[in-house]
């Protein structure tokens, strides 16, 4: 109908009016990704949050990611389209529980996956992402214990890569936990020429079937550079949008349709518009938590 302005144009105009930047995670819905100024993984978006000159950061992901942006850029206003977009893995560790575990292992270095709350990061020695977890743990002297929080699957992968025993927190990503070896084998029977590429948040048995293991950025990079024309992707299905968009001559299959994070899919264009219109919903972090969590994040960025 004549005179109706598409929602994408309204968002772009509001972005300028609000002096905002839109950061979008690779697992977000495709139409949301298409609106991002930057689309990436946790590490890449953290860096963008620290480099932007915008006054407002509209973070399209889950809550811990927006908290991380606030920690890195405390002077910015960080808003999200939906405050209910949380992370089950991040909820599997609390400050009280972590302090109790630290009491049992007082000499351990606490390496915390960024998929955690700001308060848990503040209790940590160094953070990591799936892209740099091996490098971060390798930087810890071998005579020191490492308490790896909260993802047992990523921690197990790091331990096997380094041949090193880690104390693993009993947390996990429900979405990646659902990508089972049987799913991969079935996809491989259906697409025998496809390479299997999976995320290290998957269980060890699934990882063992992969031709390549990597973070979301690692997966994107591997598929772009590979001479193969067909891939089975074992991570949250949202990444397929970007893979297909950036590699039009290649074919991508999901390893499992169950790898669909409902929290990541809470973001919609309408919610992005409403958030920019009223500058809601703002994510805040107490100053003392910011200071302590920032040290753990800075150590990660120095290492990586």
Residue 167 is assigned to a structural domain of this protein: yes
Q: Do residues 89 and 150 lie in contact, with contact meaning Cβ atoms separated by under 8 Å?
A: yes
The three-class DSSP label of residue 206 is helix
161 and 102 part of one domain:
yes
Place of tokens 């929290």: 263
Residue 259 is assigned to a structural domain of this protein: no
94 and 123 part of one domain:
yes
Q: What is the mean pLDDT of each run of 10 residues along the chain (304 residues)?
A: 83 98 98 97 87 97 96 96 97 98 98 97 97 97 97 98 98 98 98 98 98 96 98 98 98 97 98 98 98 96 88
Position 2 scores a pLDDT of 60
Its domain, for residue 78, covers: 7-85+264-285
Name the burial class of residue 178, with classes exposed (0-12), middle (13-18) and buried (19+) by CB atoms within 10 angstroms of its CB: middle
Position 46 scores a pLDDT of 79
H-type alpha helices, 116-196? 118-122, 133-138, 152-162, 174-177, 181-190
Element (DSSP H or E) covering residue 171: none
Position 175 scores a pLDDT of 98
Residue 53 is assigned to a structural domain of this protein: yes
Q: Do residues 214 and 239 lie in contact, with contact meaning Cβ atoms separated by under 8 Å?
A: no
CATH of the domain at 207: 3.40.50.10800
Residue 57 is assigned to a structural domain of this protein: yes
The domain total for the chain is 3
26 and 57 part of one domain:
yes
Tokens representing 184 are 């991969």
Residue 1 is assigned to a structural domain of this protein: no
96 and 71 part of one domain:
no
119 and 102 part of one domain:
yes
Position 44 scores a pLDDT of 87
């Amino acid at each position: 109908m004549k005179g109706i302005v598409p929602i994408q144009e309204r968002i772009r105009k509001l972005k300028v009016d609000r002096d905002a930047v839109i950061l979008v995670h690779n697992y977000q819905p495709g139409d949301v990704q298409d609106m991002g100024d930057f689309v990436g993984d946790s590490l890449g978006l953290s860096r963008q949050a620290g480099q932007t000159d915008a006054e407002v950061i509209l973070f399209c992901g889950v809550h811990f990611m927006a908290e991380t942006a606030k920690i890195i850029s405390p002077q910015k206003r960080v808003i999200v389209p939906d405050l209910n977009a949380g992370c089950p893995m991040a909820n599997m560790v609390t400050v009280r529980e972590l302090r109790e575990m630290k009491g049992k292992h007082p000499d351990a270095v606490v390496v915390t996956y960024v998929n955690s709350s700001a308060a848990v990061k503040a209790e940590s020695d160094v953070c990591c992402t799936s892209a740099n977890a091996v490098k971060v743990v390798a930087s810890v002297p071998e005579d020191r214990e490492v308490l790896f929080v909260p993802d047992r699957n990523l921690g197990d992968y790091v331990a096997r890569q380094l041949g090193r025993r880690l104390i693993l927190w009993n947390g996990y990503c429900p979405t990646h936990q659902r990508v089972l070896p049987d799913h991969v084998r079935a996809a491989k029977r259906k697409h025998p020429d496809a390479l299997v590429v999976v995320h290290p948040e998957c269980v060890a048995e699934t990882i063992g079937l992969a031709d390549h293991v990597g973070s979301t950025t690692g997966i994107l990079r591997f598929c772009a550079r590979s001479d193969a024309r067909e891939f089975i992707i074992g991570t949250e299905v949202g990444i397929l949008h970007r893979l297909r968009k950036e590699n039009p001559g290649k074919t991508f299959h999901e390893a499992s349709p169950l790898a669909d994070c409902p929290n990541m899919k809470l973001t919609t264009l309408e919610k992005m518009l409403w958030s920019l219109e009223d500058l809601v919903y703002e994510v805040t972090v107490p100053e003392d938590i910011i200071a302590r969590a920032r040290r753990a994040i800075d150590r990660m960025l120095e290492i990586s």
